Amino acid sequence: MKLIALQSVFFLIIASFSLIAKAQLTIEITRGIDNPTSIAIVPFAGSTNLSEDVAGIVSADLQRSGQFAPVDRANMLALPQEQKDVYFRDWKILGAEYLVIGGIEPVTGGYQLRFELYDVLNQRQVLKKIATATATDLRGLAHYAADQIYEQITGIRGAFSTKIIYIEVLRNASNPQEATYRLIHADADGARERELLKSSQPLLSPRWSPDGKQVAYVSFETSRPAIFIQNIATGARRQITNFKGLNGAPAWSPDGKKLAFVLSKDGNPEIYTIDLASGNYQRITQHFAIDTEPNFSGDGKGIIFTSNRGGQPQIYQVDLASGRIERLTFYGDYNARASLSPDGKTMVMVHREQGIFHIAAQDVKTGDLRILTETELDESPSIAPNGAMLLYATQANGKGILAAVSLDAGVKFKLPSKRGDVREPAWSPFFN
């Protein structure tokens, strides 16, 4: 893909799609921290005949974070399921720093999981939790347990129970002009994918609402780009824009009451907002340059956006009260698709250096820039709600895949599709 001008921003993704079939994302960890914490997750009591290996999912979640190295089950000297059966010397021999045990039992309407976390070196229990879920949500129980364990050890809220959405497309091999586009919803690890929308016309730019109940996106089903909002649970849809020209790049305000987006109805692309309750529009930028890819600041008082008003695409911020605009990026000849970390301290973006597109992070206060990825044609960064990782789209072996990297670049993993290209990931907010 060759990014030449922002006028093409809404059409670039389409050109990069190739033949794919129904995708199921897999995990390939490519880098973790140098000294990950060794943790043993013992198979839970009562889990032998269940449809999911709950302890195995907990182990995979923690390993995917890059900060943990789970002990291989085959090397475990014992399989304790109660506190009285724990002999810390067994786990010290294996070098385990933490131990997780527990059990699953059926309850009315589903299952109950008990899990306990032990500090092996200090020989003490540091966490004990009980959680329940429906019979069809054993993976949800596992992700919850992983979240609690991760937070107890790292002090950072776990994001394993969150979700992702992304776009995939199926092109007709005999007639490349025909294609089916799918908006996919999945667990953060790529499992349990679910189709939210299927269309014979392109779908672009999916964005979660702050409460995680809706998604905004661009659809070409009306023969030109239009912005829709869809309820994730019910599938109910609402068309927000249908102007001539560009209608794209939707972004939610932090309170979920407004959308920012790009319209070219008055000539060149400009940033607008809409009050979703009243339907009132407001034009935010007025410049002969191309202004696009808006995102609200964490307090909702400003919008960061991409503009070539300085000659090349760079990131700017507009104060919504005063209209004052300031430039935020100065390194590189191309910076675009910016978003802020949940704490507002870091801005991630697509950054071009020596003709190659990478994902970069910039310290908002100091302006220091850090390149996070080593692949080429990286795009569409989306930060996890705990600020620890971000998802992005890239290329591998000639096809589009999703990948993730920590904001310090110390942890990396890929989520390739088994059969084809996937694009434009968006990480959900926390759901409670």
Confidence at 24, pLDDT banded by 50, 70, 90:
low
Identify the pLDDT of residue 420.
61
The pTM of this model reads 0.89
CA angle 318, 322, 323 (to 5 degrees): 40
Neighbours of 326 (CB within 10 A): 9
For the chain, the domains span: 6-25+162-427, 35-154
Identify the pLDDT of residue 184.
95
What does the pLDDT average to over 3-21? 33
CATH of domain 6-25+162-427: 2.120.10.30
Per-residue b or e along 278-314, where b marks 16 or more CB atoms closer than 10 Å to that residue's CB: eeeeeebbeeebbbbbbbbbeeeebbbbbbbbeeebb
Distance between CA atoms of residues 220 and 10, nearest Å:
11
Residue pLDDT, tens place only, 92-147? 999 999 999 999 999 999 999 999 999 999 999 999 999 999 999 999 999 999 99
Distance between CA atoms of residues 93 and 352, nearest Å:
48
Residue pLDDT, tens place only, 327-340? 999 999 999 999 99
Residue 17 pLDDT exceeds 70? no
Residue pLDDT, tens place only, 223-233? 889 999 999 99
What does the pLDDT average to over 233-260? 96
Identify the pLDDT of residue 390.
94
Distance between CA atoms of residues 286 and 268, nearest Å:
9
What architecture is domain 35-154? Answer: 3-Layer(aba) Sandwich (3.40)
Residue pLDDT, tens place only, 359-415? 999 999 999 999 999 887 899 999 999 999 999 999 887 788 899 999 887 888 888
Which residues are 406's β-sheet partners?
A: 389
In terms of phi and psi (left: phi > 0; alpha: psi -120 to 50; beta: otherwise), the region of 160 is alpha
Out of 162-176, 178-192, 193-207, 310-324, least confident range: 162-176
